[in-house]
Amino acid sequence: MYRFADPHYLFLLLLVPLFIIYYLKGQRRQSGKIKYSDVALLKNLKPTLKQKARHVLFLLRIVAYILIIFALARPQSGSKEEEIETEGVDIVLAVDVSTSMLAEDFQPQNRLGAAKMVAKEFVEGRTNDRLGMVVFAGQSFTQCPLTVDYGVLISLLEQIKIADKDWDGTAIGMGIANAVNRLKNSKTKSKVIILLTDGVNNSGQIDPLTAAQIAATYDIKIYTIGAGKKGTALYPVQHPVLGKQYVPRPVKIDEEVLKEIAGITGGKYFRATDEQKLREIYQAIGEMEQTKIKVHEYTRYTEYFVYFLMVAILLLIGEIVLANTFFKRIP
């Protein structure tokens, strides 16, 4: 990107043709006439180098004048630069890993498999955000603390498994409390928990609504997702003789509590009845919790007038030297 900072000086270039006309008229006035009886000898005379180059001094002067005008106009080269400020979001994914997540109503996978796949897509779609993950069943554990290393988070996400019988259950309050503990010291303006469960709170020492109120005191927003189709769903069970069998069981999601949790914290409740619906929910949450990006664009200019001025000075010095040496006039 090139420009002249003071382009009005370029109007002085209109004087250049006037200088040339004035110079040519002056050359005619200085010419003289001499009468010869025979000019044949003069015709054979070749002009000297000095005669051929007699206009060099004027040419040097006029070029120097043009360069000085360009220098006054201040030629500049500019390059656009951007300064980007980002304000990320801290998000903790709280995932239910109780045995009820084995229900296969999110074909072709069970609920946990679908939750892991969609959560992975959600993580891959974020930029400049810190993400973490907790899992809960009868108890709650931190699967991954807040990080911007999405590769590590995805690797730990893929390792999630259904809870052992020793800690099976659904401790929604504990899951929220653990996620709050990961977010409470965050300095970001937007702190979010995305809680996914398919059941009713039946374990843990902390009531879900109490945990939600604690989250609200730290300005943490909770989006709750109830996973499971309405009615009944097929659950795999291991028969001692027949092997793996499927048993229909009623889907029990405490939607009223999940709605209240979201309401207390300023979040929103969603119901996912299949994998595609779950994907749409995560996309909707992602759009609501966008990373704020501010772009400041400015142009940095480099001055080139000094180069034009230096060449002009050299030409003027050359004119002076030549005028007092090679083109020196003898009175």
Q: Where residue 239 falls among pLDDT bands split at 50, 70, 90? A: confident
Please check whether residues 93 and 205 belong to one and the same domain: yes
Q: Which amino acid is at 264?
A: I
Please check whether residues 188 and 308 belong to one and the same domain: no
Could you tell me the residue range of the domain that residue 153 belongs to?
89-290
Q: Where residue 176 falls among pLDDT bands split at 50, 70, 90? A: very high
Provide the CATH number for the domain around residue 262: 3.40.50.410
More confident residue, 329 or 179: 179
Percent of the chain with pLDDT over 90: 57
Say if CB 178 and CB 95 are below 8 A apart.
no
Q: Report how far Cα 61 is from the mean position of its chain's Cα atoms.
A: 53
Strands 191-197 and 130-136: unpaired
What burial letters (b/e) apply to 113-150, b meaning 16+ CB within 10 Å? bbbbbbbeebbeebeebbbbbbbbbbbbebbbebeeeb
Please check whether residues 139 and 244 belong to one and the same domain: yes
Residue 41 has pLDDT above 60, yes or no: no
Return the pLDDT at 187: 87
Please check whether residues 281 and 302 belong to one and the same domain: no
Dump pLDDT digits (tens) for 196-232: 999 999 999 999 999 999 999 999 999 999 999 999 9
Question: What are the backbone angles phi and psi of residue 53, rounded to the nearest 5°?
Answer: -100, 20
Return the pLDDT at 242: 77
Dump pLDDT digits (tens) for 121-138: 999 999 889 999 999 999
CA distances 269 to 157, 197, 227, 243, 282, Å, are 23, 11, 11, 38, 12
Return the pLDDT at 51: 62
Please check whether residues 305 and 222 belong to one and the same domain: no
Say if CB 144 and CB 177 are below 8 A apart.
no
Average pLDDT, the chain: 87
Return the pLDDT at 77: 85
Please check whether residues 24 and 167 belong to one and the same domain: no
Mean pLDDT of 96-119: 94
d(C-alpha 163, C-alpha 229), whole Å: 21
Please check whether residues 134 and 103 belong to one and the same domain: yes
3-state SS, one letter per residue, for the chain: CEEECCHHHHHHHHHHHHHHHHHHHHHHHHCCCCCCCCCHHHHCCCCCHHHHCCCHHHHHHHHHHHHHHHHHHCEEEEEEEEEEEEECCEEEEEEECCHHHHCCCECCECHHHHHHHHHHHHHHCCCCCEEEEEEECCCEEEEEEEECCHHHHHHHHHCCCCCCHHHCCCCHHHHHHHHHHHHCCCCCCCEEEEEEECCCCCCCCCCHHHHHHHHHHCCEEEEEEEECCCCEEEEEEEECCCEEEEEEEECCCCHHHHHHHHHHHCCCEEEECCHHHHHHHHHHHHHHCCCEEEEEEEEEEEECHHHHHHHHHHHHHHHHHHHCCCCCCCC
Q: Where residue 36 falls among pLDDT bands split at 50, 70, 90? A: low
In a domain, 261, yes or no: yes
In a domain, 36, yes or no: no
CA distances 102 to 106, 145, 167, 182, Å, are 10, 25, 15, 27
Per the structure, the count of domains in the chain is 2
Return the pLDDT at 20: 86
Residue 177 has pLDDT above 80, yes or no: yes
In a domain, 200, yes or no: yes
Please check whether residues 98 and 126 belong to one and the same domain: yes
Residue 42 has pLDDT above 80, yes or no: no
In a domain, 252, yes or no: yes
What do you get for the CA distance between the two ends of the chain, in Å? 53
In a domain, 158, yes or no: yes
Return the pLDDT at 217: 97
In a domain, 331, yes or no: no
